[in-house]
Amino acid sequence: MESQGNGERVNRSRRQRQILVHTGAAGLVAVAASLAISAIKSYRKNRERKDLLGSDVRINLSAREILKLAELIVVKSKKVHDAVASVPLDRIDYGKVVSPLAELEAEQFALIQSCVFPKMVSTSEEVRRASTEAERIISAHIASCRQREDVYRVVKAFLSRGEWTSFEAKYYVQCLVKDYERNGLNLTSTKQKEVQRLKAEIDDLGSQYVQNLKDDCSHLPLFENELLGLPSKFLKSLDVDEKGRYKVALKSCNVAAVLELCKVGETRRRVAVAFGKRCGQVNLSVLEKLVQCRHKLAILLGYSSFANYNLDNRMAKTPSKVFEFLEDISASLTELASRELSVLKDLKRREEGDLPFGIEDLLYYIKRFQEQEFGLDFGILKQYFPVNLVISGVFKILQDLLGLRFVEVSDPEVWHCNVQLFQVSDLITGESLGYFYLDLYKRQGKCSQTCVVALQNRSLSDNNTCKMPVAVLIAQFQNDTDDHPALLRFSEVVDFFHEFGHVIQHVCNRASFARFSGLRVNPDFVEIPAQLFENWCYENLSLKLISGFYQDMMQPIKEEVCNSLRRWRYSFSALRLKQEILYSLFDQIIHSADNVDVLELFKHLHPKIMLGLPMLEGTSPATCFPRSAICYEAACYSRIWSEVFAADIFASKFRDDPLDTNMGVKFRNKVLAPGGAKDPIEIMTDFLGREPSIQAFLDRRTEHSLL
Ligand SMILES: *[C@@H]1O[C@H](CO)[C@@H](O)[C@H](O)[C@H]1NC(C)=O
Ligand SMILES: *[C@@H]1O[C@H](CO)[C@@H](O)[C@H](O)[C@H]1NC(C)=O
Ligand SMILES: *[C@@H]1O[C@H](CO)[C@@H](O)[C@H](O)[C@H]1NC(C)=O
Ligand SMILES: *[C@@H]1O[C@H](CO)[C@@H](O)[C@H](O)[C@H]1NC(C)=O
Ligand SMILES: *[C@@H]1O[C@H](CO)[C@@H](O)[C@H](O)[C@H]1NC(C)=O
Ligand SMILES: *[C@@H]1O[C@H](CO)[C@@H](O)[C@H](O)[C@H]1NC(C)=O
Ligand SMILES: CC(=O)N[C@H]1CO[C@H](CO)[C@@H](O)[C@@H]1O
Ligand SMILES: [Zn+2]
């Protein structure tokens, strides 16, 4: 089926709606995969399946099909890159240079994901293995594409010609060129080699670091009386040594339990020290080497530090902006944090006598205070959150708020019988906007994260053919048991709302280039919508819509519980934020300067930010805070950043009426729709009617403080 221009697209979506209306239970009838690339088309010609309109995603491929598809992807991609590279510099134009690259990216993303995402969800080990192998092949190929100097030259030449069909197209080409240049392609070949060597070394050090922490199987042997306060269920899960001591493996779940629950101060201290020591000296030097390599890399690429390099692509832009941001928040919270700390110190004095208060006491006394003050029993609270009720509540809230409609597609092609598929359309116009799968329950062989994976990003080709956004939400819920339906802990409810926020963001993104759609927006911006939606889990009105006692669903949680949850959310938040600011500052400093003594720096910063509390003697910052070593280097501040601006949006636009459809639709159109194609500060300023501010975030904390 071919489509021409806008009119045809409208017709098609209308036809599809009719299919939905008329066939209801029979489901979405198969529509020919007119958009699949020809090679793939011929290879799966004789296989009957249902394809979603505007989606090239292939579901439930066999191991053989995955490997075959990976091969085809690489072949086709090489062909397109070669063709672009061979365009003579005096013959370059948009259609020969930019369109082929943009369309390749748009077309192949869904196919790549079809190969790669089964490793997270497939029930067959053979498929998961094939998927991992396909990912390796495709990643290696993509890495080689990023090194195509011949393609870079042609694209760069086109950029300097400056002929644009749209703002988005111009921005797209600028991004392409920038990506190549951030990979060193505008440097001499000696320097390019050095860039590649450094990148390889950084990868290598990163995996060493992760491996070291993974391999560490140290444990502390502790007698039962040293573990006072821990539930017997926890103790039963531990091995016992020949002297009758419990072997507490230094894994974060065990450590968190001890730090929150153990009544024995000395044990908390020993466990915290041992945990912060793992892989100590040696791995501290891995971190130092990592930081040095990153610095060298950034200098080679023309930046003054690694932080400058990494922030160049982010909202914050420069380290000085990050420092200013963190210091502003830190300073504004000092008074509140001090009051919080003195409450905890009093508690400790009453419980343990005149011992000094240390960083290892923080979680325990926060928990003690919360128990005494809020009387929230999260075990009982769970009975108010049956999975199906939560989901339909979240759906209702977001459909009404944003002017959307979700319709379950019946009998879809899936990879496991528990997986559901939904189509999203605009409530008013009926226009189809995209699809999402829900794969909610834990099972053998499934990955253990809760996350959203983009399967296809929206894109609009030159001839106006639209590819639909498709995403999958993967969660780890426990299935029903004999005596009750599947229930969610409150934290799981919040996580679900957050992740589903990503799904909505993915589907509502209207950018025309796959590169700016999906969740591929500025990394300092990407969490803002999801963090914003978390707020609905704490408002009376919305909380009632997503809760109901499992034996009597008409009975939502009580208003005083809503209130407690809200106060609980903000309790000791200044102190907890200070700790996060400490790590974020540490991360920003080591990546902004050359040759920092990381241990000395951490010793110095710790008491300065944490209101006098010293670093635990013997621990290593490299161990305590792995995020600054890998994944979030020079970007640890970003979580606080997005929380701050999400709070600003919520307080100024939704707090008074969290179910205000006009505002919701405005949010969808102004904030979600532009995706990565528009500067996020501009997006926020346009929506807020002023520049974003940190004030709402700070006010919220002061206002909910009990102290
Ligand atoms: C529109 O563009 C897509 C992507 O390049 C192509 O696959 C499709 O055949 C084109 N359709 C028409 C009608 O030209
Ligand atoms: C290479 O590109 C980077 C990033 O755009 C730029 O800062 C640098 O000056 C360029 N280097 C050369 C040698 O052109
Ligand atoms: C996935 O495909 C396999 C065969 O390739 C089939 O046996 C299985 O039933 C399919 N799974 C689902 C959930 O459709
Ligand atoms: C979970 O429960 C559903 C419905 O109650 C059932 O169909 C499904 O088989 C269960 N799944 C697992 C993984 O146990
Ligand atoms: C599509 O979006 C995802 C994130 O949602 C991103 O990782 C991916 O790179 C995007 N695809 C393209 C082709 O840019
Ligand atoms: C929620 O309910 C509580 C208890 O009735 C009330 O004090 C509070 O003001 C309500 N909150 C909002 C935001 O309406
Ligand atoms: C690379 C390396 O030497 N890693 C070390 C990290 O720390 C642990 C615990 O001290 C050591 O066992 C590893 O050898
Ligand atoms: Zn998120």
pLDDT for the residue numbered 282: 58
Mean pLDDT, rounded, for 690-701: 93
Ligand 4 pocket, mutate which of 441, 443, 478, 481 (most atoms under 8 A from CB): 441
Does the structure show a pLDDT above 90 at 36? no
- 662 pLDDT higher than 70: yes
Q: Among 205, 282, 287, which is best to mutate for testing ligand 7, by the most ligand atoms less than 8 A from CB?
A: 282
22 has a pLDDT exceeding 80: no
pLDDT at 317 over 80: yes
Q: Which ligand is nearest to the CA of 501?
A: 8
Report the nearest-CA residue for atom 1 of ligand 1: 463
- Give me ligand 4 centre to Cα 191, in Å: 56
Q: How many whole angstroms from its chain centre is CA 10?
A: 33
Would you say residue 34 has pLDDT above 70? no
pLDDT tops 60 at residue 448: yes
Share above pLDDT 70 across residues of the chain, in percent, rounded to a whole number: 91
The answer on pLDDT for 624 being more than 80 is no
Cβ-based neighbour number of residue 669 at 10 Å: 15
Is pLDDT of 324 > 70?
yes
Domain ranges of the chain: 1-53, 217-277, 381-570
Q: Tell me the CA–centroid distance for residue 462 and ligand 1, in Å.
A: 8
pLDDT in the model for residue 50: 61
Active site residue 534: no
pLDDT per position as a tens digit, 574-595: 999 999 999 999 999 999 988 8
Q: Of the residues 288, 499, 580, 643, which is catalytic?
A: 499
In which band, very low, low, confident or very high, does the pLDDT at 603 lie, cut at 50, 70 and 90? very high
Among 186, 299, 304, which residue has the most ligand 2 atoms within 8 Å of its CB, making it the best to mutate?
186
Contact between 173 and 156 under an 8 Å Cβ cutoff? The reply is: no
Question: In the CATH hierarchy, which fold is given to the domain comprising 381-570?
Answer: Collagenase (Catalytic Domain) (3.40.390)
Checking if the pLDDT of 387 tops 50, the result is yes
The finding on whether 62 has its CB within 6 A of some atom of ligand 2 is: no
Distance 279 CA to ligand 7 centre (A): 4
* Mean pLDDT, rounded, for 552-569: 92
| 3-state SS assignment for residue 46 | coil
pLDDT at 35 exceeding the cut of 80: no
Q: How confident is the model at residue 707 (pLDDT cuts 50, 70, 90)?
A: low
Q: Is the pLDDT of residue 352 over 70?
A: yes
The predicted structure's pLDDT at residue 393: 97
User: What is the residue whose two structure tokens read 């502790």?
Assistant: 222
- pTM value > 0.85: yes
Region 77-85: mean pLDDT is: 98
Residue 253, classified by CB atoms within 10 Å of its CB into exposed (0-12), middle (13-18) or buried (19+), is exposed
Cα of 191 vs centre of ligand 6, distance in Å, is: 62
What's the pLDDT at 333? 95
Contact in structure between 425 and 431 (CB atoms under 8 Å): yes
If pLDDT is split at 50, 70 and 90, which confidence band does 217 have? confident
d(CA 109, CA 88): 28
The C-alpha torsion from 150 through 156 and 161 to 162, rounded to 10°, is 140
Residue with tokens 């830190």: 330
Q: Is residue 288 predicted with pLDDT exceeding 60?
A: yes
DSSP class of residue 468 equals: P
> What's the pLDDT at 335?
95
Instruction: Please check the confidence at residue 272 and state whether its pLDDT lies above 60.
Output: yes
pLDDT at 44: 42
Query: How high is the pLDDT of residue 462?
Result: 85
The answer, yes or no, to whether residue 311 has pLDDT greater than 70, is: yes
Residues with CB under 5 A from ligand 8 (ion): 527, 530
415-442 per-residue burial string, b: 16 or more CB within 10 A, e: under 16: beeebbbbbbbbeeeeebbbbbbbbbbe
302: CA distance to ligand 2 center in Å? 6
DSSP state of 596: -
Is it the case that residue 451 has pLDDT exceeding 80?
yes
Q: Is 469 in the pocket of ligand 5 (CB under 6 A)?
A: no
> How many of the other CB atoms lie within 10 Å of CB of 32?
10
Task: Give me the pLDDT at residue 706, please.
Answer: 62
